[in-house]
């Protein structure tokens, strides 16, 4: 699968947090999150392993109750079923891979 860059087809996950599925295959799914300063992604867990890279902005990433200050170029890997949340300190863009594919994120 190949896709050209587009600013269309973002889904609002909640106020200040938008998600776009970029590409996906049989085992992985690549997403882009646009995060607005002052918003929080509540603590949650899912069975998918989640690997991410912060393209721009600043966030606090809380993984299993441990807080990490993330800036551009920082990355993470969250095992499946581990609770995590995000505090958005500056407008930010994060790119994340989920495995297995998150069916609810398919276009």
What secondary structure does DSSP assign to 4-56, as a single string? ---S---EEEETTEEEEEEEE-SS-EEEEEEE-TT-EEEEE--SSEEEEEEEE
Residues 22-54 have pLDDT tens digits of: 999 999 999 999 999 999 999 999 999 999 999
Domain boundaries along the sequence of the chain: 11-105
User: What is residue 107's predicted lDDT score, i.e. its pLDDT?
Assistant: 87
Query: Under CATH, which architecture does the 11-105 domain have?
Result: Sandwich (2.60)
User: What is residue 38's predicted lDDT score, i.e. its pLDDT?
Assistant: 98
63, exposed or middle or buried, with CB in 10 Å at 0-12, 13-18, 19+? Answer: middle
């Amino acid at each position: 699968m190949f896709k050209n860059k587009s600013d269309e087809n973002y889904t609002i996950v909640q106020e200040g947090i938008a998600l776009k599925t970029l590409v996906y295959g049989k085992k992985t799914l690549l997403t882009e999150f646009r995060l607005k300063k002052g918003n929080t992604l509540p603590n949650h867990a899912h069975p998918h392993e989640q690997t991410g890279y912060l393209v721009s902005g600043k966030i606090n990433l809380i993984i299993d109750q441990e807080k990490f200050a993330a800036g551009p170029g920082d990355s993470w890997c969250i095992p499946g079923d581990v609770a995590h949340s995000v505090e958005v300190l500056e407008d930010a863009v994060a790119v994340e891979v989920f495995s297995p594919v998150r069916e609810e994120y398919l276009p």
